[in-house]
Structure 1
Amino acid sequence: MADRVYPSAKPNPNPPQSAANGGATATNGGGGTQPSFPPTKSQLYNRPMYRPQPPAKRRRTRRGCCRACCCWLVLILISLIILAALAGGIFYILYRPQRPNFSVSSVQLTTLNVSASNQVTSKLNIAVTARNPNKKIVFFYDPISISVTSDGADFGDGSFPGFVHQKKNTTVMRTTATSSGQSVDPSVAATLKKSTVNLDIDLETKAGVKLGGFKTKKMKIRVHCAGIRVPVPKGKKTSSPSTPDVSCKVKLRFKIWKWTF
């Protein structure tokens, strides 16, 4: 009995090319057909290579920028204040600065006439003593204007020449203050006819400071002397000089833009 031959159920992995593809098969050297292989994964999935992107920078908000600016400004101001305090402390330790002292050493009323129409004519001889108590600081003054008043009424004006006030030095300045035909209130005119009058003396100038070879900018300085009693001359007789030795108050005047302190 002859054996039966069954066809294989396994498909041929390399089927021959049909005539629809050109009707010819490729030969390999000795005339055999060239086997074809299935496409690889790289051919099936032709995707671009992945490249990681750098992380996006966060944009600062406007509030964060304002907060940072405010913090920096505060830190800068605090630093400047600390530096100024340190500089001031070092300056005080090295120089021990003190204000100049002024006092009225002598006042003589040589002429005083009060007319029926309450007009005053007066003449005064005034001596003012200036003292510099500093050991390392020199003051230099512009010409000094002097104004004398009695109960708010103008009693005479004058001036002192400018000078340089050396260290640990005392300088006596002398001048004459006059007033001619100055109108006053009847109440003030009545007080001027008494045996003594009360006077206030004001000095005003600009002063600078010299430290070695360094000079500062000049600042306005005002000196106020109050409570000076002077005898009134009688007739043609000149009154004797009064030596009140009144201490005066010294005020520095700073000008910042439109304001004066």
Structure 2
Amino acid sequence: MTERVYPSAKPNINPPPQTLNGTTNNTATTNPSFPATKAQLYGASRPQYRPQPKPRRSRRGCCCCVFLWLILLIIALVLLLAIAGAVFWVLYHPQRPSFSIQTLRITQFNITTPKGSTSPTLNSKLDLSVTTRNPNKKLLFIYNPITVSMFSNGVDVGDGSFVGFVHGTKNTTSLKALVSSTGKDLDSDAVKSLNTDLKKKNALPLVIKLETKVKVKFGSFKTEKVRIKVVCQGIEVSVPKGKSSPSVMKSTAGGDSKCKVKLQFKIWRWTF
């Protein structure tokens, strides 16, 4: 029997060198080649990694956030102040003090021109009595000295002051002061205005202004000083012509000569 030889199913890993024209080619054996790795295959085509810069925040967005927080803070402060004010009003029910002119008499009022001078001068003396009332049950007022100024048609005819005092709750206090002017120079318009009123009515229309600072005390707490202005209008005072004619005050508006009271609160640069 003839023996059949079947080729092996397993390939030859190291094939014999091929010959070309009787010459053996040893290139395959001397310089073997290996398949390229994934890093070699994809590394050349992969772009170089560059870190991306962080996105910049818009200035407009930052300003809007700051402005929004500022508005919210102001609203919160306003609400807190409103709540505190409402609680204070309910507990104490604060009221302004009242002022009224009790008596006003002119004891001297002369317009003269001194020798050697061309400008006339004013010499005046006025006795002023003011009544002030504190209508509050739980609030006490602490007054600084009160300055007094009197004007007739815009002309300053006298200045004075009241001493400072403590005004108790539900209390009425009478204040007295001498308002005077000594050797005050007057211009021609001021002299004409004063002489006109004295000739027509033998009386002077007066506006009285009081100004001071006051603290408010409730319980053991005291507030900061608050500026207070008092304006009294509609007052006429006759000028005496000798001892037989006393000075008389009357109100041109009728009724009592009550005064308007204005409180001024200063917050930073603003006055309310």
Give the TM-score taking structure 2 as reference length: 0.74
Query: Which residue does 1:96 correspond to in 2?
Result: 93
Post-superposition Cα deviations, 1:86-130, rounded to whole Å, max 9, x if no partner, equal: 111111111101111001011011112222664322111110001
For residues 66-93 of structure 1, give each alpha carbon's deviation from its aligned partner in whole angstroms, at most 9, with x where no partner exists: 3332332222222222111111111111
Return the match for 1:107 from 104, 112, 117: 104
Match of 2:82 in 1: 85
Matched, 1:68 2:62: no
Whole-Å Cα distance in 2 between the matches of residues 119 and 109 of structure 1? 17
Mean Cα deviation higher: 82-91 or 135-144: 82-91
Note the C-alpha offset of 1:45: 5.9
The farther-off stretch of 246-255 and 134-143 is 246-255
Q: Among residues 164, 184, 193, which one is paired with 1:187 in the alignment?
A: 193
The aligned counterpart of 1:8 is 7
C-alpha distance in structure 1 between counterparts of 2:14 and 2:181, whole Å: 139
The 5-angstrom pairing of residues 1-261 of structure 1 reads 2-12=1-11, 60-115=57-112, 118-182=120-184, 183=186, 184-193=190-199, 194-237=201-244, 239-242=246-249, 244=251, 245-256=256-267, 260-261=271-272
Using a 3 Å threshold, how does the CA distance of structure 1 residues 157 and 12 change in structure 2: closer, same or farther? closer
Q: In structure 1, how many angstroms separate the alpha carbons of the residues matched to 2:270 and 2:39?
A: 82
* Structure 1 range deviating more: 88-97 or 118-127: 118-127
Give, in whole Å, the separation in 2 of the partners of 1:190 and 1:61.
73
Q: Give the letter for the 1:163 counterpart.
A: F
| 8 Å contact from structure 2 (residues 235, 257) kept in 1 | yes
Percent same amino acid among aligned pairs? 47
* Bigger Cα displacement from structure 2, 138-147 vs 172-181: 172-181
The answer as to whether partners of 1:110 and 1:238 remain within 8 angstroms in 2 is no
Number of aligned residue pairs: give it.
235
**Residue by residue, what CA displacement relative to the aligned partner does 1:210-236 show, whole Å, maximum 9, x if unpaired?**
011111111211111011111210124
Note closer, same or farther for the CA distance 1:46–1:181 as it changes in structure 2 (3 Å cut).
closer
Unmatched tracts of structure 2, length 5 or more: 18-25, 27-36, 41-52, 114-118
Rounded Cα–Cα distance in structure 2 between residues aligned with 1:173 and 1:202:
14
The 8 Å contact of residues 235 and 250 in structure 2, kept in 1 or not, is answered as no
Contact 2:134 2:170 in 1 (8 A): yes
Q: 1:258 offset after TM fit, Å?
A: 5.4
Cα distance in 2, alignment partners of residues 236 and 115 from structure 1: 20
Structure 1 residue runs without a partner (length 5+): 21-43, 48-55
Code of the residue aligned with 2:236 in structure 1: it is R
- Distance in 2 separating the partners of 1:179 and 1:66: 60
| Alpha-carbon distance in structure 1 between the residues aligned to 2:56 and 2:183 | 79
**In the alignment, residue 219 of structure 2 is paired with which amino acid?**
G
Contact 1:107 1:243 in 2 (8 A): no
Change (3 A) 1:254 1:232: same
Query: Structure 1 11/63 Cα, relative in aligned 2: closer, same or farther at 3 Å?
Result: same
> TM-score, normalised on structure 1?
0.77
Paired with 2:266 and 2:195, the residues of 1 have a C-alpha distance of: 37
